[in-house]
Amino acid sequence: MRLRNIPGARETIAESPWIVQDPAQCKGHWREKFKDTDTLHLEIGTGKGKFINQLAVRHPEIGYIGIEKYSSVLIRALDKLGESGAENLLFIRGDAELVCEFFEEGEIDRIYLNFGSVAQGQARQEAPSQQGVSQEVLRHPVG
């Protein structure tokens, strides 16, 4: 994905109520941030947020969290959230390598890692360095 600097992106991200500014402080308490849900799904590398926004609209009973490293990309996901009006979606602007600092062991029910796309002729696959850490925060680890 090409990254363009977007003026004001950092400031917008820092002020948005949909971006959790202190994710490490929420460790073990993420369910309290959502209304009426016991289920939390996490997307690592949310990008422009199309995938997670669609899921959030389709499944209002699930709480969704998207992590994205770059403000200039995440700002697009915020735009999409504004359009969809989903109230069950929050974002973290940060490095997914730190996922164990953000979430308690077993706190997350499902993790999505969509890197690459079929349309681009790439396999949608998990970033290798994140396979290990992401397992630790799953309620029911797989494999």
Ligand X SMILES: C[S@@+](CC[C@H](N)C(=O)[O-])C[C@H]1O[C@@H](n2cnc3c(N)ncnc32)[C@H](O)[C@@H]1O
* Residues in contact with ligand X by the rule CB under 6 A: 1, 45-47, 50-51, 67-70, 73, 95-97, 114-116
Nearer of residues 33 and 69 to ligand X, judged by Cβ: 69
Shortest separation between residue 35's beta carbon and ligand X, angstroms: 25
Pick 32 or 96: Cβ nearer ligand X? 96
| Minimum distance, C-beta of residue 36 to ligand X, in the bound complex (Å) | 26
Contact 103, 78 (CB under 8 A): no
Least separation, in Å, of the C-beta of 4 and ligand X? Answer: 12
In the complex, the smallest distance separating the C-beta of residue 92 from ligand X, rounded to whole angstroms, is 8
- Sorted by sequence, the CB contacts under 8 Å of residue 71 that are 6+ apart come out as 6, 9, 10, 12, 13, 93
Residue 115 buriedness (CB in 10 A; 0-12 / 13-18 / 19+): middle
- Nearer of residues 27 and 69 to ligand X, judged by Cβ: 69
Cβ proximity of 42 and 55 under 8 Å: no
CB neighbours of residue 46 within 10 Å? 28
Q: Which is nearer to ligand X, 38 or 66 (CB)?
A: 66
